[in-house]
Chain A
Amino acid sequence: MAVRMAVRGRGRGRGVRRAGKQLHGGWITYTILIIFTLGSLLPLIWTAIAASRTSTRLSETPPPFWFGGNLMDNLGEAWDGANMGLALANTVIVAGAITLGTVLFSTIAGFAFAKLRFRFKTLLLLLVIGTMMVPPQLSVVPLFMAIAELQWTNQLQAVILPGLVSAFGVFFMRQYLVEALPTELIEAARVDGASSLRVVWHVVFPIARPAMAVLAMLTFVFAWNEFFWPIIALTQDNPTVQVALTGLPQGYATDRSVIMAGALLGTLPLLAAFTIFGKQIVGGIMQGAVKG
């Protein structure tokens, strides 16, 4: 089939070029997108509704479908009950550092795995993938022993440094670059006498940009929501948001509306960051990676 042929024949003697235009979506597209969006947002909206009610009201039937008047009270209680100011600052540092490190390390390692030749490449790649398979629940015990040995308990690096081991990121960048980075581009740069570092900076990074943006966003969110390890490594003296939230239950019984308010407090900065930076980060995905 012709189409198939076209696909197979790609990548030889042809500069990669993207036309600037894209297909427009029709009404079916919009309908499906809106349904998806509603499905995605409803549980979050309901979290906000629950956060605006009392714990008692949440237990009643039918459950509340609209906002009540307790939002500010609950948010305030969650803010004071969990050391939220420090927690948010800590989380931005932790997630930011993990994201910067992960994206950088993953991109260069992913590039090496995708396009360069070196010894034991396949074996090392399999090792990387193997790392992803160790269930994180179990790494916690040996990891904590190591952290305790280093006397890092309750310090942010105890969460940041193990977070930099992103086999996922390396694998992700490798899979992206294998297809997206034409080998001729590297060769051409080489012919011009560019060093490997220059190749990375001027060829790999620009082409990897959409994937880097996605990886950055995914890593940031993951680091933000991670709690299984931080809960062991940190305490509420120096918490991340998720650690702080586990300290929320107060009063007589677990107050679910305050818990929901806490969950909201933990998620909102993330969503705010999406909307502010999203335009630049996600927006980067839309623009052509390489301009001829």
Chain B
Amino acid sequence: MAVRTRTPRTFHRAAASLAALTLAAGLSAGCAADDEEPGSGKGGEGKTTITVGVFGVFGLKEAGLYKEYEKANPNIVIKQNSIERVDQYYPGLLTHLASGSGLSDIQAVEVNNINEVVSQHADKFEDLGKAPGVKKDNFLSWKWDQATADGKTIGLGTDIGPMGICYRKDLFKKAGLPTDREEVGKLWAGDWEKYIDAGADYMKKAPAGTAFVDSGASIYNGASSGYETRYYDESGKVIYKDSEGVQASWNLAMDAIKGKMTAKYKQFTPQWDQGYANGKFATVSCPPWMLGYIKDKAGKKADDQWDVAQAPKPGNWGGSFLTVPSAGKNKKEAAKLAAWLTAPEQQAKLFEKQGSFPSSQAAFELPAVADAKHTYFDDAPIGKIFADAAKSIPTLVLGPKDQPILQQITDIGILQVEQQGKSPDEGWKAAEKKIDDLLEQ
């Protein structure tokens, strides 16, 4: 050969080691898969695996409920698939629903999406209203109704988010406001306007570098969740532009921003966490699931500083449902598990361990809820506070696009005014434009 090229040995070695590595990994994974077999198949040793698809920090696993169920039902193995962000979880769920493949046996759905699922996909889910072990009367009726269409109930309520106000006693004291949770609750009882007034008082003597509330979105979420109708009316028409609840809540947020009583955070960002850690604001709208978050982010430094009082008006922020897609492999066992997970006793346990407040009114009477106190919040009787709020929550009228509409108002409208210094008018128009755009398909 005229040209003699040589492949250096190192290359062979590298290629060979890569191949060997792949092979070895393949073998070890094969073994691993074999080990898994009893759990992952339907058959192996007669065990059934039920998969549960959830998003974010859902808590069922953390509260030990899966383990308990597996203990009581030795033929069942439960596996959880969780995806951190709801905005990745929900489109994935829709894609899986459309193809009837890749679904977990149980799928969680967030309250802001439940209406869309009920109105568009009810045929792809099992009717849990008739599943064994499900008692309609255990659930708050409005929660039950949210996942029901034409007599078919496709979702069982897990938790709800009755609203309270969390506040920092040390900051309130310095600003000359009362610190006792009863008195604080009276400051604004019955009217969110009074909450803004309290904010104005706070700001007059506010400790340096602090604000009354974390964000305009916090006020908007708190206030708007107390109205029956927000974005849709009972007939399903979009009415957000003229809705009293939306307008009043928007104006409240604007008043707070104009009065410079917000700390200008965007909620659930690392910056917001730092705001907690550094005690930059005195109050925040506070459903029960927020308590754990505050404890985690504010940390030991603020031990015994936080407390929780009643909100101006009862409202609901957040909560979820468990559904059983019809395309699943173990529908019967999945329905049983979903019924068990949402039964009063389990909801009470979830509240005790994770702070997710029961949607089961039967659970309110259980001692684990009724007598619950939170040590980090100065032993506040959170069971009583939130149960009281839960009982007076109005039946919210939901619509399919609640989630994106709400998000445009808080993340576009309010943030433009709060963080970018635009006028309330400009902010509202920007949000309105986005909403109209997304509603027009």
Q: Which residues of A contact B (CB under 8 A)?
A: 54-61, 85-86, 89-90, 92-93, 96-97, 99-100, 140-141, 144-145, 147-149, 151, 153-154, 185, 188-189, 191-192, 194, 202-203, 205-207, 209, 213, 216, 231-233, 235-237, 246-256, 277, 280-281, 283-284, 287, 290-291
Contacts and interface: CB of A to CB of B under 8 A. Distances in A.
Given A141-B95, A154-B102, A56 B57 contact: no
Contacts, number: 174
B3 interface: yes
Nearest to A198: B1
Given A144-B102, A145-B99, A251-B57, A60 B84 contact: no
Interface residues of B, number: 63
A151 B296 CA distance: 42
B84 A61 contact: no
B276 interface: yes
A251 B296 contact: yes
A100 B19 contact: yes
Given A85-B32, A202-B5, A246-B84, A153 B101 contact: yes
Question: What 5 A-B pairs come out closest when comparing CB atoms?
Answer: A252-B292, A56-B299, A96-B22, A59-B277, A148-B99
A284 B10 contact: yes
A89 B25 contact: yes
A61 B274 contact: yes
A209 B7 contact: yes
Interface in B1-33: 1-3, 5-8, 10-11, 13-14, 17-19, 21-22, 25-26, 28-29, 32
A206 B6 contact: yes
B80 interface: yes
Given A207-B5, A235-B53, 17 more contacts: A56-B277, A59-B270, A86-B36, A89-B29, A89-B32, A96-B25, A145-B98, A147-B101, A185-B3, A188-B2, A206-B5, A231-B83, A246-B83, A248-B84, A249-B84, A254-B56, A277-B17
B293 A252 contact: yes
A251 B2 contact: no
Interface of B: 1-3, 5-8, 10-11, 13-14, 17-19, 21-22, 25-26, 28-29, 32, 36, 40, 51, 53, 56-57, 61-62, 79-85, 88, 92, 95-96, 98-102, 104, 270, 273-274, 276-278, 292-293, 295-301, 354-355
Given A61-B277, A236-B81, A86 B62 contact: no
A60 B29 contact: no
A144 B62 CA distance: 31
Contact of B25 (A92, A147, A185, A202): A92
Contact of A59 (B3, B21, B32, B273): B273
Contact of A256 (B40, B102, B270): B270
Contacts of A235: 51, 53, 81, 102, 104
Nearest to A57: B299
| SS class, residues of chain B in contact with chain A | helix
A232 B95 contact: yes
Nearest to B302: A56
A281 B3 contact: no
A208 B375 CA distance: 66
Nearest to B296: A253
B21 A151 contact: no
A96 B27 CA distance: 13
B437 to A, nearest CB: 19
A231 B102 contact: no
Contacts of A99: 18
Contacts of A58: 270, 273
Nearest to A290: B5
Contacts of A55: 296-297
Contact of A247 (B83, B277, B355): B83
Contacts of A251: 57, 62, 292, 296
A284 B40 contact: no
